[in-house]
Structure formats: C-alpha cells, structure tokens
Structure 1
C-alpha cells in the first residue's frame, strides 16, 4: 500500500454484502442535532435555495445502510444521473482490464488519431490520461455561449463520436507536466478500454462490474460510435451508487472475490502532481481527494452528485441532487460538514 494512505477497512464477518439488499444499522452520528440541521438546509428548503434540490442522501457505515432520505419527489427506485461520477466507474473498468492482463497503464495509449509520423501525442500514457495530465488542450466550461469543448463534445459536433472529438485536440503542454480536468480524457479512456476488451463492452460492464455488485439499476449510455460515454453517463439509484463506493472502500474485493487488482484503489487515491494555481482541489486517478476530510476520496459529478469514501470512518456518503453551478463551493462545504457529523466506525 502507498505510504501515507489510511488503511481500507475490511467487511465485518457478521455483515452481509449488499449484493441483493442493503443490511441496515444505526447511524453513528456524533452530533445528531448538527446533522439534522444540515439536512434541513437541503431537504426542507425551497428548490431555488442555496443548495438547490437534494434528491437523496445516504450514509453507509460499517457496510450497513445507516441513513437514507429522499426529497423533491425522488424515491429509492428513482435513477439519478451520474454525470462525472461515471469517470470513476471508467477507472474501475480499466482496472478490471489490467487484472485481465489486457492493459498496461504505463505504456503509450493506443489512440488511432495519434499514430501520425512524429505526433507528440503518441507519448501520452493511459496513466497520464487517468490522472488528467495528458497535456491535451480541452476547455471544461459549462456556461452556455462560452467556448466549451465539453459542451461541444456532448451536445454539438462531437456527440456522435466523443472519443474521436477529444482525441483530435492538440497538445497544449508536454504529457505529464500539467494537470487539467477534462471530460474528453475519460471518453478516450473508455474507448481504450473497449478496444482492449475486444467484444461487447456493454456486456462486459454488466458481467464484471454491475452484476457482481448487484447494481441492477445501472444504465450506461453509449454514443453513435458505440463508445461508453465514460465522462458523464451512467444512471443508477443512490443505493447502487453506494454499492460502487463500497467496492472501493473494500479495496476492490467483493464477497470473497477480487474484482480490481491489488493496489488499484490505492492507485486511484494517490495524489497526482498539480502545478501551482490549481483551485479545483487535489486529484488522484479519476477520483477526487479530500472532500470528506483527510484521507477521503470521492466520485464527483456535475450539479452535486457525490460518492464520498472515508476509510477512517468506514463510511460512504452518497448525495444526488441538482445544485446550481454558482453554489458548488457552498455545496462542497455542506457535504464536508455532513461527513464530519459521523463518528468513527
């Protein structure tokens, strides 16, 4: 295990795996009054309030569902958008192909658009793609009317083949020298994963990831070229998002079976180099770091989707909602406070 990373807790022998249903338990809130006040700000406020709409808030501690609340018409059966939480699922699929011996993350990525003579992009590795350090130019801006590669990729000229659109971007920095969050990167990675698998990738996703975990609601979306839109689109119920979080909290093992390579979760949560001036927060390999306190890591999505994994508390917090972009910092502060209300496992 990487130095400095908190250990990942094991599933208690007396706690069943939630492949079919979540075992339940008592919430271990160390400040119940503070937690209720925080949740009132999310669920009892007007939909145009500072946090927008919170559709679901779940807490899993010690492998058991200990808190669950829904609002604004959502129910446990309502599927929610992943948005960029799909990036962390894409990282899991790459790990499974590494386990199969079909991918080497430190080798140059096999991207057709980069095979021209003396193309400097041919040196980009899968590791650099997973760490958002490819050096490719890509504008990640969600404001309509502004220059935005992500909007053009998802809804404009790139929507038929998102990976090809992203792979066509030129280098702005030498590979590995500059960190820049880019959704296009994840679609390149998703296409690389499908190429390495070499068959029906949707079936591979079901058999290797969704079915073993019991993620029956999981609905990934593919573009017209047949590529999983790994940057943005896998709809799930909040309970299924929590199942995915538990896979990472349990070091990639599930009910006696190893689904991810040993050390793959540590790879995901090992910090990536970021140049001075980055304000987005620390990043690992297709996982964010620290939003739930020191040692935590999380899958984050647009409009306030979160799967937060806290090894020191043996805790997962899932939040689905619709929060305005201008309130994202306020929401991050709020979710950090919610996590802090839960004590040690």
Structure 2
C-alpha cells in the first residue's frame, strides 16, 4: 500500500504547541500497561499541527485499518456534501428517496421518518434492526428496514441502529449515482490528501456506510482536523459552513442507552458523531477513535484492539488533557526529542516461543491437527491445521478455513509479516516439546487470533482477542480492492 499522501500534515515540536511531552509519555505508559488495550496507532494534533504520531510495530503508518463504526462519520460527511449540492434534504421523508417501496411501506411512523432521523440514530426503533432488515429483504435491506415499524415516533428515541446509516448511505449513493468512495474522492479525500482506501460492499453492490471503511490513521486525523477547522482546509472550504457545529451538537439524548459506566456515551448523539465529556468524536468497535476537542485545540486519531473503549477514553482524559497548555512551553527540547524517539520505537510485544521445536522435530514435520472437541468454538469455520518444515529450516502453520488454506510463516524474529493472501504478522513458537502457540495479527484490522497446537492430542484451539463483526473468512480480513 502506497503512502497516504505526498503532502503530510504539518508537524511541530510538542512544546511549541503547548503540549507537555510528559503527558504523552504518561498516556503511552498507561495504554501499554493496560492488559485489555492493544494500541495500534496514535496521532495527536494541536492547533492543526501533528505533535505526536506513533505506530506500534508491526502496524505501520501507510497501512489501512478497519474503522468499523468510525465509517459512519465519513458517510454522514458525504450526506452533508450532497445536501450542499441540493441533492438531499435532511427534512425530506426517507421514503421519498425510494418511491418503489411506497406501496409496501404503510406504517405511519416509517413513512414519517426523515433523513435527519437517520443521521441522528433516531428512527424510532428501540434496538438495532440490522439482522432483521437483511432477513426481511436480503436483496434490498433498505426495503427490509422500512418494513420494520418503529417502536416510537421518529426523533423521540435513540437506538444505535445500523440500518439508519446504511439507509443514509444508500440515499447518498442513489442521488449521486456513485459509491460513497467515488463521491467523496474529489470532494473530500483528494483535497485532504487522503490516499487509497477501501470500503466493504454488500450483495446489492453498495458500500455499507455503517462500517467497513479501511483507511490509515492519517485519514482519520485529517477528517478530525477538517471538522475542527469548520470544514476549511488550507484556506479552501470543503464542508458547508456550520456543518461541523451542526453535526457535533446533540440531536437526541443517549443517557443510559449503552448501560452503566459509559459516561462518554451518555452525553448525546449528533449527526453520526458522539458527544463526549470533552468535545465530540467518531468511534468504531474495538477502539477506533477520531476525537475532536475544540476547547483544547486538539484532535486525536487512534486505532487499537480493545473491548474497553470507555477505559481508553478515560486514559486520554486523565493523562493527555492536563498536558495541553494554553501557551508554548520553553526549554523542552530534550523532552520533545525523547518523546520523538520513543514514538519511533513503539512495538507490540511478541508472543513467547522458540522458532524451532525444542525436540522431536521430526514428529512436528507434516503433523496434522483437528479442532479440539471436534469443533473450534471461537472460530467454527476452522476445520484443520498443519505444521510443515521448510527447506531453509523455517516452519509454516497452514490453517484450513471453509476449505481455503491460509499458510502462515512461523517467526524466526519477533514478528513475521506476510502480505498475501491477507496481510498478517505472526509471533510465537514452541513453548514446550509438545506445544506450539502462535498469535496472528490481521494487520488491516483490530483482530488477533491465537492458535495452540497440541502434538500429544493432534488437536488445536483458536480464540479471538477481538471477534470480527460479523464473522467472516480469514482471507477476507483485509482492505477490499
């Protein structure tokens, strides 16, 4: 994958922008010490300049990363651009964009649903209806969604409901005659200097809007910086004036919607941006963040792998916010240099293991393993594994997933990176005479698979640290196209 841009965002020493490097160190320390957070990347911008940027190897700056629901913030940006071009009216009934469904969609609440309700997760449904919509009409999920009567009047109830974004994205793709990516490319992505991206499509051929966007961390940072600047980039207005404020104010109350202990999800929902205790944000499953902090002059872009997203935000508020000062700091050259050096050396610790069997190597060569217990509970489509010895003295672990082989070179260093057929990094090795353990990072996603093979039983187990949503074949855990 080529670099994201030949025109990187301007950089600055942290102290020159009033950022105390000690606070960034404290955040890095906390992220790396949290056993349930696996950081992949972090970019911090202050006053429009990059003051800190780092990737935990084997993750790298140019590589795209699955953003999950952070994709929604790009989808609603496309809707805002379409509105500015007179193609969408946020107050228009959703059904007006799909007249071929009008005879079937008779529920008055469904017919009263407006485009703005889609953008604010306020269709009136009290739950996520994505599975029901695809079941109702697999060939046209928009029709399936509109045939599910809302539980309340649109605009009166928040529910994090994927078909809201799917339908909003479908409206954009219908009125523009283009995919979301093709529509955004000349209007947003190219002007911002965002390079190649990929977006998952469903069986209709649409980019799904609510998830599935693969983009580098740099792209997330650029989007956040654009919203921070009210849609102006290098003196050129890319977003409608006032749209950033409109998208980032609460349109619907969310208190208690995600249960207890989620204070940053209780502050309200804008147009596909969450209101936070500090500023606002787009976010995606397992810790993909675009934090915009107008009161602090800062933007934070991050990718990670964690189910403890509130914990991640708590660490940012606790360690980074106190490091943001109103004026430049002086005499901090050594501290800034030390931070720069640390950011350049970030890496994820590899799984333990020896690169060759400690003994009985001949027994391992060609050994075939079946799922323990007859099935692989955490990755049920895996049906087999085989270990083979290479002529150069290395070893390969080949997994069979729905009949498709995926060969993984076992590491002779910390991480072995392979690009095809899917970008992976493998660590681990033999942890005993009869046990092989390997961790597999799917490098364009927040997903890590741990496999353990037992020579005595000729069985293996596999478990996800974060489970792909929805479950999919291993070979599909990569940027489309």
The runs of 5 or more residues in structure 2 that have no matched partner are: 259-264, 328-481
Deviation at 1:99, TM superposition (A): 0.9
Q: Does 1:254 align with 2:233?
A: yes
Deviation at 1:181, TM superposition (A): 1.5
Q: Which residue of 2 aligns with 1:126?
A: 115
SS at match of 1:320: strand
**Partners of 1:338 and 1:176 in 2: CA distance:** 37
SS at match of 1:59: strand
Q: Does 1:218 align with 2:197?
A: yes
Q: Which residue of 2 aligns with 1:71?
A: 56
SS at match of 1:241: helix
**Partners of 1:80 and 1:276 in 2: CA distance:** 30
**Partners of 2:105 and 2:304 in 1: CA distance:** 47
The runs of 5 or more residues in structure 1 that have no matched partner are: 1-17, 140-148
Q: Which residue of 1 aligns with 2:318?
A: 337
Q: Does the 8 Å contact 1:152/1:159 carry over to 2?
A: no
Q: Does 1:26 align with 2:26?
A: no
Deviation at 1:135, TM superposition (A): 0.6
In the TM superposition, what are the counterparts of 1:257-336 in structure 2 within 5 Å?
A: 257-274=236-253, 277-279=256-258, 280-281=265-266, 282-291=268-277, 293=278, 296-324=279-307, 327-336=308-317
SS at match of 2:65: coil
Q: Map Cα deviations across residues 190-210 of structure 1 (whole Å, 9 max, x no partner).
A: 001111113455422212221
The number of residue pairs the alignment matches comes to 309
Equivalent position to 1:108, from 77, 93, 100 = 93
In the TM superposition, what are the counterparts of 1:92-241 in structure 2 within 5 Å?
A: 92-109=77-94, 110-112=96-98, 113=101, 115-116=103-104, 118-120=106-108, 121-139=110-128, 149-150=129-130, 161-199=140-178, 201-241=180-220
Deviation at 1:73, TM superposition (A): 1.4
**Partners of 1:115 and 1:19 in 2: CA distance:** 51
Q: Which residue of 1 aligns with 2:44?
A: 59
**Aligned in 2, Cα 1:303/1:71: closer, same or farther, shift over 3 Å?**
same
- After TM superposition, the structure 1 stretch with the greater mean CA deviation from structure 2, 267-276 or 234-243, is 267-276
Q: CA RMSD in A?
A: 2.6
Q: Map Cα deviations across residues 163-186 of structure 1 (whole Å, 9 max, x no partner).
A: 444334321111111111112210
SS at match of 2:316: helix
Q: Map Cα deviations across residues 178-237 of structure 1 (whole Å, 9 max, x no partner).
A: 111112210010001111113455422212221111110322222221222110111111
SS at match of 1:262: coil
- After TM superposition, the structure 1 stretch with the greater mean CA deviation from structure 2, 104-113 or 280-289, is 104-113
Q: Does the 8 Å contact 1:163/1:227 carry over to 2?
A: no
**Aligned in 2, Cα 1:101/1:237: closer, same or farther, shift over 3 Å?**
same
Task: From the two aligned structures, give the one with the greater strand fraction.
Answer: 2
Q: Does the 8 Å contact 2:292/2:298 carry over to 1?
A: yes
Q: Map Cα deviations across residues 266-322 of structure 1 (whole Å, 9 max, x no partner).
A: 11011123276435322111101124x1xx111111001100011122211011011
Q: Does the 8 Å contact 1:132/1:185 carry over to 2?
A: yes
**Aligned in 2, Cα 1:243/1:276: closer, same or farther, shift over 3 Å?**
closer
**Partners of 1:77 and 1:254 in 2: CA distance:** 22
**Partners of 1:328 and 1:195 in 2: CA distance:** 34
Q: Identify the structure with bigger relative contact order (alpha carbons < 8 Å, sequence gap 6+).
A: 1
Question: Which structure has the greater CA radius of gyration?
Answer: 2
**Aligned in 2, Cα 1:60/1:192: closer, same or farther, shift over 3 Å?**
same
Q: Does the 8 Å contact 1:269/1:284 carry over to 2?
A: yes
Equivalent position to 2:26, from 37, 42, 50 = 37
